[in-house]
Copies of this chain bind each other. A is one copy, B any other.
């Protein structure tokens, strides 16, 4: 019987593992809660109405068409039985495996205040992005209909919590949405009067970047009209807004981009976990004590040579996925195992608004428009790679119908949802 490989998660890590297994003499099952692979780095553009969901997501079945040995299963994994070698699903029979790759990623963490989740919207899935889009756009619509100036102020106050790449992207883009896209579209309110706060408990936004890049990013955000509030933690989120340090700030829209927590794979395996819940893995990405179970990407904690865990970035997940795929292919073919995984850092980038970015390539740094150009080109290339496979197969393309942009859509149902949330 051909060995059974089960890969959980169709993100960058899981999909890279699937691809690296192309041609392997194994039965591969890819399990994911959704039916698509999501190009997460551009998710914030869906949340801010620049892109449509379909622009950054593709059906997993389409991406695996060239691999008949891969079966795609839309299901939620809820546990692992490492002794019986079974993956437990929320619904239906458990899935037997010989080799298991856990690539289930991370979620946002409210630092023990799960009750804040009701009032603060996270950005992780397409649904999150659409919920944010509805809330942002509806806040302006509602403000236009409101007479009470204090309520208008509250509706047009947007708080982004967390000064990492996602928080910076969101705050910058919301500022531009208010200042340019919506600027001339309302009669009673002035969208330019919108107040956008970015709250970061540390001393810098984008603190993972070296040298003066964080300071540059702060300045760039401020020039876009974003109030950057550093060094104070959000101590409360409720239906009225937030408390930042001692100060209460009324805000109808709070976006949560702070603190990630790995999905519960470590708990499933009773494995040693890092502080954020990620499974501490061995140099070959396997889980200690379980040589047939691997954890990659955000759900894993991989200590590099310097003793520091690798960051939760797409390239890490992709390289680990590719590595584990090749390792399994070698194992199945009876070839020697590859040397331990080594992360090749190709540089990191963060974008601030539509024409500025910062980039760290180790030996040198970039910032400003040139960095933004580099960011655009890199993401364009990654997207091309990802979508070109689709292009070949979509033989009834209506491409000529689509030249416009601007996914500024509020549907009836969404509006009601937002209305409820906005109180």
| Complex Cα gap A365–B245 (Å) | 73
**Please, which residues of chain B bring their CB within 8 A of the CB of A55?**
52, 401-402, 404
Encode contact with B along A156-181: 1 for CB under 8 Å, 0 otherwise: 00000000000000000000100011
Most central of A50, A186, A412 by chain B CB within 10 Å: A412
* Known pairs A50-B398, A71-B187, A396-B50; A57 contacts B181 (CB<8 A): no
Closest-CB distance, A353 to chain B (whole angstroms): 10
Q: Which of A29-37, A79-87, A110-118 contacts B (4 or more CB under 8 A)?
A: A29-37
* Cβ B409 vs Cβ A141 within 8 A: no
**Please, which residues of chain B bring their CB within 8 A of the CB of A409?**
34-36, 53-54, 57, 59, 126
* Cβ B35 vs Cβ A181 within 8 A: no
Most central of A71, A184, A409 by chain B CB within 10 Å: A409
**Please, which residues of chain B bring their CB within 8 A of the CB of A387?**
403-404
Encode contact with B along A133-148: 1 for CB under 8 Å, 0 otherwise: 0000110010011000
Closest-CB distance, A271 to chain B (whole angstroms): 26
* Cβ B415 vs Cβ A74 within 8 A: yes
* Cβ A405 vs Cβ B397 within 8 A: yes
* Cβ A185 vs Cβ B61 within 8 A: yes
* Cβ B404 vs Cβ A58 within 8 A: yes
* Known pairs A396-B181, A412-B125; A402 contacts B51 (CB<8 A): yes
**Please, which residues of chain B bring their CB within 8 A of the CB of A186?**
61
| Complex Cα gap A212–B182 (Å) | 51
* Cβ A412 vs Cβ B54 within 8 A: no
Count identical subunits in the complex: 2
Instruction: Determine which of B65, B73, B400, B405 lies in contact with A399 in the assembled complex, contact meaning CB atoms within 8 Å.
Output: B405
A230 at the interface (CB under 8 A from B): no
* Cβ B410 vs Cβ A391 within 8 A: no
Across the interface, name the chain B residue whose C-beta is closest to A354.
Answer: B396
Q: Which of A39-58 contact B (CB under 8 A)?
A: 42, 45, 50-55, 57-58
A223 at the interface (CB under 8 A from B): no
* Cβ A35 vs Cβ B390 within 8 A: no
* Cβ B54 vs Cβ A127 within 8 A: no
Top 9 nearest A-B pairs (CB, nearest first) are: A54-B407, A61-B185, A52-B52, A59-B408, A35-B410, A387-B404, A127-B413, A74-B141, A127-B411
**Please, which residues of chain B bring their CB within 8 A of the CB of A380?**
400-401
| Complex Cα gap A374–B332 (Å) | 56
Closest-CB distance, A32 to chain B (whole angstroms): 10
Across the interface, name the chain B residue whose C-beta is closest to A379.
Answer: B401
| Complex Cα gap A369–B220 (Å) | 55
Q: Which of A295-312 contact B (CB under 8 A)?
A: none
A150 at the interface (CB under 8 A from B): no
* Known pairs A35-B408, A404-B391, A409-B57; A51 contacts B127 (CB<8 A): no
**Please, which residues of chain B bring their CB within 8 A of the CB of A149?**
none
Across the interface, name the chain B residue whose C-beta is closest to A181.
Answer: B396
Closest-CB distance, A125 to chain B (whole angstroms): 6
* Cβ A408 vs Cβ B144 within 8 A: no
* Cβ A45 vs Cβ B185 within 8 A: no
Across the interface, name the chain B residue whose C-beta is closest to A64.
Answer: B185
Q: Which of A369-423 contact B (CB under 8 A)?
A: 380, 383, 387, 390-391, 394-415
A201 at the interface (CB under 8 A from B): no
Closest-CB distance, A18 to chain B (whole angstroms): 14
